[in-house]
Structures are given as structure tokens and as C-alpha cells.
Structure 1
Amino acid sequence: MTHFNDLQEKRRSIYALSKEIEKTDDELFQLVKTAIKNTPSAFNSQSVQAVVLTGDAHDKLWDMTLNELAKVSSSEEAFEQTTQKIKGAFQSGYGTVLYFTDQKIVQGLKEQAPLYADNFDDWAEEAVGISLYAVWLALAEAGIGASLQHYNPLIDEAVKQEFHIPENWVLRGEMPFGAIKAPAAEKTYTDDDARFKHFK
């Protein structure tokens, strides 16, 4: 088995995170930048933008998320369960990567290549997926656990105001990361015959 396949198996959704990691903030920032810069995007649009939060900024993000969730929670019991999840699986980590799509770039592509205009939103989503997967693999290679969350669009406005995000950047996902306190459960797979076909 190749190193890449080994790495794919190593990359899992890790929810038992802590703040005790060996890399510096600058090293983590460089890891994220390098992974995203080398990912493909339609027309080389580079529409994916990222913000790395560590320290107080990371903690503040999840406090803000809880504040927004409190406004829409169905009950006190439900909110308490959500609070435990946020604090125990996300805020307990070392940092968070925020992924954005620059809609100004996407709109510009629609105007430049109208023949493909209906496809650019889908292609931008593909670019986000490729980018976050690349970062996830890079974190896994470094022995750092992560998961992918989607509290957008609930937290969009609070994030924009707090971290001075450009108006044309649209939040597409949040990736808390940190030291791995406990591994993920064993992964199960759908039967190959139900997913894959090969014609010769």
C-alpha cells in the first residue's frame, strides 16, 4: 500500500481533541497555506480562502457559535447537549480552520466565461472540498486530529464582524483541530459492488 493510501486511512474525524500539540502557530499556518495553495480549482480560480484561528481567537469562535445556537435551540436540555459537544469536541482543540469561497471570483468567472456560468458555483464547492481534504490529510500526516463542521450560515455574520472577513467571502465550513486524545471508532464500508463499476 502506498504512503498516500496509508495517509487516507489515517485521516479520520477526531472528536477527542486537546491543545497539547508540538507545532507552533506559524508552522500550522504554513501547513494550511501550503496545502491549499497546491490544490486544483476550475480555471485556476483559487476561489478558496482560509482563516486559521488559534489561542483566544479559536476559543472565541466557539463561544460565538454557542451564543448563536442559544438563540435557536429547541430547549434547555438540547442546548446543554450542544454545549457539551462544542466544548468537548471542538473548543477543546488547539485551533480551527475556517474555509471560505470568494464569491467575487466566482461571479467574475461567470462573466468571463458565460458558457460555463451555471457550473461555477458547483466547481467552487469542489474546490472547497479538495482544499479542506488536503489540509485534513496534512494535519493527519503531522499527527494532528481534526473534524469538519458546518455551523454556517448560522455564524456567518458574527464571524465576519469578529474577524474582519471581507463581505465577498462566504463561509463554507469549520475544521477544529488539535492533539488526539482518543482515536476514531473503526470505520465501516459500504459493499464495493454497491458503489463501484468497472467496464472494459
Structure 2
Amino acid sequence: MSTTTTTLKEAIVNRRSIRKVKKNETITKERINEVVKTALHAPSSFNMQSSRIVVLMNAEHEKFWDIVKETLRPRVPEENFGATVERLQGFRDGAGTILFFENQETVKTMQENAPSYKEQFPFWSHQGNAMLQYAMWMSLTAEGIGASLQHYNPIIDEEVKRTWDIPAEWTLIAQMPFGEPNEEPGERTFLPFEDIVKFY
């Protein structure tokens, strides 16, 4: 366990979007493997476990962000593309990227096995993936590793599936670049507690 590991409360409070990350030799495949194992304890409806994860590190991670850049090039106005490249470079400079998928075959099987909930399983599937994303983000934060959640899908989906031989029934949900924090996050603002929470 890393010496930077914090309490659950500290991880929740300190979790932030770190969009500029960099490589660090202490962020190894073995260390990220342990983070992933921890995050996989996140719950899912009916214990359906429809989420799938692909971890890209080193050259594969850099290849992913090159794909994103080239996919965006014809879609972003030329005058804005420089800023887009700069943002993407903040992700590419990191140690790796976690790709979150949902296995639609699992969702379909659950719909067949529990037809009275058929309409709900796609929603529950995404909720489970969101909890996994959060568990992953919290686990990285507890390790002192910076991360953010990005959504360049669906425009990159076909190229990603082709490049890493991803099963056709997996749907890309989100991307989480990670690494040593290379920026100080801005201030967060919160709605008044009383507007969000009601006690009876």
C-alpha cells in the first residue's frame, strides 16, 4: 500500500479533476492493477457486473490520445484546434488512461432473465458504470494519483475498438487519464446544503 493512501473522507473531499498530469516511475502497471482491483468492489444492480475496463499505459496510452486528436481534427474549427491539442496534451503526458465500457450482452441477458425490469436495465447499467468510475477515481485519489473523467465517445469508438480488438458488444462510456498531478485544481463551488438535502 502506498504511503500516500488517505482516509475515505479525505479521498472524497480531495477528489478533483486534474486535467494536466505527467508520468511518474512510481505509477506502475502493478500499482494501477491494485487500484483497479479495489474499484471493482463497486456495486451494480442485481450484481450484474456489466462494466468492463481497458487500461492503457505507456505507448498504448499515448496512441489513444493521438487517435482522439486526429479524430477531432476535422471536427474542430481550425482557430480552436490549438487549444484542443493543448488540452489533449495534458492527458497524453500522463501515465495511462482507463477506458470504461458496458457489455451490452450482459444487459441483454439480464433483460431476458428479469423481463419485468427490462426497461430499467440500461439505466442501471450506466449507474453501475458511474459508481465504478467514482470508485476508481477515489482509489486513484487515495494513492495521490491525479485523474479526470473525459467523454470523447462516441466519435472515437470505432477506431478504439479496431485498435485494441474490443468486442463489438462493449459500448465505450468514458475515459479517465491519470498520472502525477501537474496542476493545481481551481476552487469548487457548491449549492447551499439546504437546497440539496432535506431531513424529516
TM-score by length of 1: 0.94
Asked if residue 76 in structure 1 is aligned to residue 81 in structure 2, the reply is no
Give, in angstroms, the shift of residue 182 of structure 1: 2.2
Aligned to 1:169: 170
CA distance in 2, matches of 1:169, 1:180: 30
Asked if residue 9 in structure 1 is aligned to residue 22 in structure 2, the reply is no
Asked if residue 60 in structure 1 is aligned to residue 89 in structure 2, the reply is no
CA distance in 2, matches of 1:16, 1:5: 24
> 2:27 is paired with a residue of what secondary structure?
coil
Letter in 1 for 2:33: F
Aligned to 2:36: 32
Q: Please, which moves more after superposition, 9-18 or 102-111?
A: 9-18
| Alignment: residue pair count | 195
State whether residues 21 and 178 of structure 1, in contact with CA within 8 Å, keep that contact through their aligned partners in structure 2. no
- Structure 1 residues not aligned, in runs of 5+: none
Give, in angstroms, the shift of residue 21 of structure 1: 4.5
Runs of 4+ in 1 over 6 A off after TM superposition: none
State whether residues 21 and 144 of structure 1, in contact with CA within 8 Å, keep that contact through their aligned partners in structure 2. no
Aligned to 2:3: none
Give, in angstroms, the shift of residue 67 of structure 1: 0.9
Give, in angstroms, the shift of residue 149 of structure 1: 0.1
> 1:179 is paired with a residue of what secondary structure?
strand
CA distance in 2, matches of 1:49, 1:131: 10
State whether residues 24 and 95 of structure 2, in contact with CA within 8 Å, keep that contact through their aligned partners in structure 1. yes
> 2:191 is paired with a residue of what secondary structure?
coil
- Structure 2 residues not aligned, in runs of 5+: 1-5
Aligned to 2:52: 49
CA distance in 2, matches of 1:179, 1:84: 18
CA distance in 2, matches of 1:161, 1:183: 36
CA distance in 1, matches of 2:184, 2:138: 16
> 2:174 is paired with a residue of what secondary structure?
strand
Give, in angstroms, the shift of residue 153 of structure 1: 0.3
Aligned to 2:147: 146
CA distance in 2, matches of 1:185, 1:122: 32
What RMSD, in angstroms, separates the aligned Cα atoms of the two structures?
1.3
> 1:60 is paired with a residue of what secondary structure?
helix
Give, in angstroms, the shift of residue 173 of structure 1: 0.1
Give, in angstroms, the shift of residue 30 of structure 1: 2.9
Structure with greater helix share of residues: 1
CA distance in 1, matches of 2:125, 2:83: 34
> 1:151 is paired with a residue of what secondary structure?
coil
State whether residues 27 and 95 of structure 2, in contact with CA within 8 Å, keep that contact through their aligned partners in structure 1. no
Deviations 1:31-75 (A, max 9, x none): 213312x111111111010000000000000000011101212x2
Give, in angstroms, the shift of residue 129 of structure 1: 0.6
> 1:57 is paired with a residue of what secondary structure?
helix
CA distance in 2, matches of 1:109, 1:96: 29
Deviations 1:59-108 (A, max 9, x none): 000000011101212x2111121111101x21111100000000000011
State whether residues 49 and 102 of structure 1, in contact with CA within 8 Å, keep that contact through their aligned partners in structure 2. yes
